[in-house]
A and B are shown apart, each in its own frame.
Chain A
C-alpha cells in the first residue's frame, strides 16, 4: 500500500484493514467520522460500526460493554473530547478492568489549527498517561501509524492513540521493524540527544541539521510510545549526551517531557529542556505551520534550547 501522508486517512485505512483481518474489530463514532476517517470502516462494515451521536461518555462505556463480550472496539473523537469528555468512563469502565478498547484521539495537539482552543488538545497525553495500564501512542508519520495499528489486535489493555490532522513528512525507516514501546533512532550524534513524539520528530530532525551548522552533533530519537516508556532504552539513548531536549505538541506539563524526566530519575543524566506548549490553551490560526511557530514548536526553538543547555553546563 502506497502510504498516504495524511495521518487521519492512514488511520482510517489501517482500521479498515484491521476490520478485514479480524471480525471482532468494531468501531464507534461520535459524529466526527468524516474527520476521524472512521467512515471508511463504516462503508465496509456497516453492521460493526456504531454511530453513537454526539455522546462521548455513552460511546466510551458502550465500548466497555462490547469489549466485555469479546469485541475489540475502536472509539473515535477529537483528542480533546476523547480524553477529556469521557475521562471517568475511560477510567472506571475501561481502564480498571484493563479492557481492550482503542481510543483514537484525532486532531490532536494544535493540529486542528482553525478551530481554536476548545478543540485543540494540549493536555490529552497527560490525562491518558495518568491512567494505570493505559498505553499512550503518538506516531510521527503515516508509516508508523499503520505499523502501530497492526499491533492493536493483540496488544493487551486499553490504548490511546494521538492522530494528527495534517499531512506529515515520511520519516519512519522503510525496513525498520516496529513494536509498541520501541524507541527509534533517526539520526546519530555525540553532543546532544533530541527526543520527540508526533510532529515534533520532524522538527527535531531539522533542529539537528541547524545544530550541525554550528558544529554540534545531535542524535534524534522518536519516542512514539509515551507509555509504557522503555526506561532502559531511554537511558541508553541519552547516555553520553551533554544536553537533552524533549519536544512535543502538548503542554509541557505532564506529557512526554514529564514521562522522560520520570524515567531518567535516579540515574545521572545531562540537563534536560522541554519544548512544548507553555501551560496555556491554543488559538485559531490560518495554517498549521503558523500556529506551531506561534507556540514555539519549531526546529530553531529546539536547536536554541540545546545550545543554551550546552552553554550553561
Chain B
C-alpha cells in the first residue's frame, strides 16, 4: 500500500525537524555523532511518527512497540524524536552530554525517558530485541521490536549469533534495520574491513531481506509494512543511506562520525537545513498545483 502524499509530506518535514534538533544538540565546540544520526532521520521519523505503536503520553505502555538503537552512539536522533513527541522536554537538547544531564552520550535508561535498553557497546541490540520478543510472546503480546544496526557494526560476531537465534525462534516480531551508510568511525567500511554480500548473508541466516533507499519516506513506510506481514521469520531492511545527510560538509565523510562543529560549520549547517526547508515548501506548493 502506497502512503498518501500528506503522510509523506508530514514525515519529510519531521525528518528535517529532527535534523534541526541534531544541530541544536551538536552546538559549537562539542563532539557529537552527527553523521550516523543524520543518516537515520527519515527512518526514525517513520518509526516514531507513523509505523510504531507508541503513545508519547504513556511511554511505558506495555502495548508499545520498541525502538532499539543497537548503534547507540547515534542516540541523538532518538533524543530528537523523543523531544518532538514531548517525551523529553525541549530545553534538554542544549544540555546534551553535560554533567548530570538527562541526555547522556549513549542510551541510558536511568536518566532518559523513552530509552528502552542500554546499548552502545556495539553488537548487542539484536540480542536484546530477541529477548524482548521471546518474553512478550510468552505473555501473548504482539508488540514489535525495531532494532537499528550500523553497517560497520555488522563486524561484531554477536550480531550473527543473534541472527541465527532469531531465525531459529521464528522471531517475526523483530524488524531489523541496517543503516547502510558505508562509513564507520575511521573511514569507509569497505576499507576498514569489507563485509561483502550483506543481503545474502542475512538471507543465508534465515531472514527475509528488504532493500530500500533509507531517505525515501515512501520506500521506508512500504518496507516497514511489508516486514510486519512476514510470518515465520524475522525481516531485515537494508537501508541505503548517506552519512551526514542534509549537512553539506558532513555528507559521505568519516570526519563527522564523531565530530566537532566550529561556529562557521554550525552556521553552514543551519543554512543547509533552511535551504532544505525552502525546497520542501516549494516542492509541496508545486505538488498542490499539479
Taking Cβ atoms with an 8 Å cutoff, the residues of A that contact B are 26, 47-48, 50, 52-53, 55, 57-58, 60-71, 73, 88-89, 91-93, 96-97
Contact = CB atoms under 8 A, between A and B. Distances in A.
Main SS of the interface on chain A?
A: helix
B109 to A, nearest CB: 5
Nearest to B116: A68
Given A58-B158, A61-B158, A68 B128 contact: yes
Contacts of B109: 96-97
Interface size band for B: 20 to 34
Main SS of the interface on chain B?
A: helix
A65 B134 contact: yes
A55 B165 contact: yes
B59 interface: no
B158 A65 contact: no
Contacts of A55: 158, 161, 164-165
A27 B120 CA distance: 26
Contact of A26 (B127, B135, B158): B135
Contacts of A60: 127
A70 B132 CA distance: 9
B41 interface: no
B115 to A, nearest CB: 9
A62 B131 contact: yes
B131 A64 contact: yes
Interface in B122-143: 123-124, 127-136, 138-139
B285 to A, nearest CB: 46
Given A69-B132, A97-B109, A61 B124 contact: yes
Contact of A71 (B124, B128, B129, B138): B138
Contact of B117 (A47, A53, A64): A64
A297 B205 CA distance: 48
Nearest to B135: A69
Interface string B80-120: 00000000000000000000000000001110000011111
